[in-house]
Amino acid sequence: MKIKVINAMFIILVLAALSALTFFVRVGATADTVVVLDIAGMTCGSCVDKIKKTLQSEQGVASVQVDIDSGQAVVGYAADRIKPGAIAAAVAGLGFECRIVEVSSLAKFKAGHKNMAAGLEKTSGCSCCNE
């Protein structure tokens, strides 16, 4: 009898803990809009990583691709959750010069930039190899 009571209490405790943790889970955004940014001042992979991590932590950002050679970032985001100006401001807040080059729907961007569009709908993983 004691074992059944202990098991029942344990199950209730686990369910309560799981319920509490659901408030801390971030639901990934789905990209419906794309912004292309020109970023000046990137000099190494650490700069790229810093920009990616900062943008990926923004609510509404679904994917981030940063290319140090072209000095551009392509960011897929949910337009109802974040604005392109806020995305650019997050990059500028890191000390980089940043300007918005293009804002378009995901479908329009995919049609015009097939090689850059890979991975824009993903919420995690490697954006360059889609793993």
User: How far apart, in whole angstroms, are the C-alpha atoms of residue 78 and residue 83?
Assistant: 8
Model pLDDT for residues 47-78, shown as the tens digit of each residue: 999 999 999 999 999 999 999 999 999 999 99
> Who wins on pLDDT, 120 or 60?
60
Query: How much of the chain, in percent, has pLDDT values that exceed 90?
Result: 55
Residue 27, pLDDT above cutoff 60: no
Give all domains of the chain, ordered by start, each with its CATH number.
33-112 (3.30.70.100)
What pLDDT is stored for residue 9 in this prediction? Answer: 76
User: How far apart, in whole angstroms, are the C-alpha atoms of residue 96 and residue 125?
Assistant: 25
Q: Is the pTM of this model over 0.75?
A: no
